[in-house]
Amino acid sequence: MPNPSLLILPGDGIGPEVMAEVRRIIDWFGANRGLAFDVSEDLVGGCAYDAHGTPLHDDTMARAQEVDAVLLGAVGGPKYDDLDFSVKPERGLLRLRKEMDLFSNLRPAQCFDALADFSSLKKNVVAGLDIMIVRELTSGVYFGEPRGIFKEGNERVGINTQRYTESEIARVARSAFDLAMKRGKKLCSMEKANVMESGILWRDVVTEVGRDYPEVELSHMYADAGAMQLTRWPKQFDVIVTDNLFGDLLSDLAAMLTGSLGMLPSASLGAPMANGRPKALYEPVHGSAPDIAGQGKANPIACILSFAMALRYSFDQGGEAARLEAAVERVLADGLRTADLMGPDGGTPVSTSGMGDAILAALDASQ
């Protein structure tokens, strides 16, 4: 059998730096665990625009459709702020999500014990936190039509349309229920059914899908109330499913409960391919952080943990994913800290590559 294939898209800003550490991790699994991958690399975002005049070349899009999984670093930066909206770096990422039909975005928020003091909330509120937000990713207000800025009379009007079909809601709901079955069998669906017709439909369809999962405890919550509850007592949740816009907001809120955006991975999954694997793109939640690019300050852990998610969800290597996650936890427990994790209690400062070195050493020790 051929090796599984990975397309790496480092992107802009700190993307190439954190992805370099992931490449070292991938090589380690090939050399030490018999998990060899066929790895190729290409451009996305601002660097693709610089090279091709587009944030995602058609050839790159075609390659992304063919591989078993895509790993992406980050896109964007102030250099591209004045570009036309249609060719901004972020449009490359949105095109990948849309054309690969990656409708289910998994965003875990896990608070490692060693970082419980880094959260803005009290330690007892976040210690042991382990929740999963499932965000619908290819529809809703980010893609709905009509959209744009139009002239009405003497003023401009900005329009974006929130639009969902029953089938779009049902398929992301089903992916969330399947995930809940593998976790704590508890799912909370969040929308704004009190003021939005799309929210009414969302609640109705999720309830209908829930009838096929009698073992899962299903609850519903308005998204604004959900944000409040995430900051009041986040451990009341296990899996949360929500739409594209609310998922974007709520997952970033949940990310900060853990202490740093530099810690959080994500997976975007689509329908199964011919080989049974879902189409998939894995990326850290953080942005391109151009203010620290090239300085060795970036935290590579979110990108490394995104590869761990790839091991688990694309390659059925849950045990090896757990090995990598345990290595990260060991390094943090030993007090190693990139700049974003340096708090008042100190720690041992390390660079981006220094964190990679430590995680590789922890993997060596795990054998």
Count Cα atoms within 13 angstroms, Cβ side, for 275.
16
Residue with tokens 């529809």: 139
Three-class SS state of 144: strand
Task: Please indicate whether residue 178 is annotated as part of the active site.
Answer: no
Q: What count of other Cβ atoms lies within 10 Å of the Cβ of residue 161?
A: 12
Cβ burial of 260 (10 Å; 0-12, 13-18, 19+) is buried
Out of 243, 248, 279, 313, the active site residue is 248
Out of 49, 68, 80, 142, the active site residue is 142
CA dist 320 and 325 (Å) reads 9
CA 164 to the chain's CA centroid: 22
Q: What is the 3-state secondary structure (H, E, C) of 197-222?
A: HHHHHHHHHHHHHHCCCCCCEEEEEE
Q: Kindly state the tokens that stand for 326.
A: 């345990």
Out of 27, 224, 334, 357, the active site residue is 224
Work out whether strand 217-222 and strand 336-337 pair parallel, antiparallel, or are unpaired. Answer: unpaired
Work out whether strand 5-11 and strand 38-41 pair parallel, antiparallel, or are unpaired. Answer: parallel
How far, CA to CA in Å, does 77 sit from each of 10, 22, 46, 80?
14, 22, 8, 6
CA dist 5 and 190 (Å) reads 36
Task: Please indicate whether residue 186 is annotated as part of the active site.
Answer: no
Out of 117, 178, 252, 357, the active site residue is 252
DSSP letter, residue 343:
B
Closest CA to 131 of 251, 263, 302, 259: 251
| Structural Rg of the chain based on CA atoms | 20
Three-class SS state of 109: strand
Residues paired with 281 in a beta bridge: 70, 268
Closest CA to 132 of 93, 97, 177: 177
DSSP letter, residue 2:
P
CA dist 300 and 282 (Å) reads 14
Task: Please indicate whether residue 291 is annotated as part of the active site.
Answer: no
Task: Please indicate whether residue 59 is annotated as part of the active site.
Answer: no
Task: Please indicate whether residue 222 is annotated as part of the active site.
Answer: no
Out of 12, 42, 192, 213, the active site residue is 192
Residues annotated as catalytic (active site), given as ranges: 142, 192, 224, 248, 252
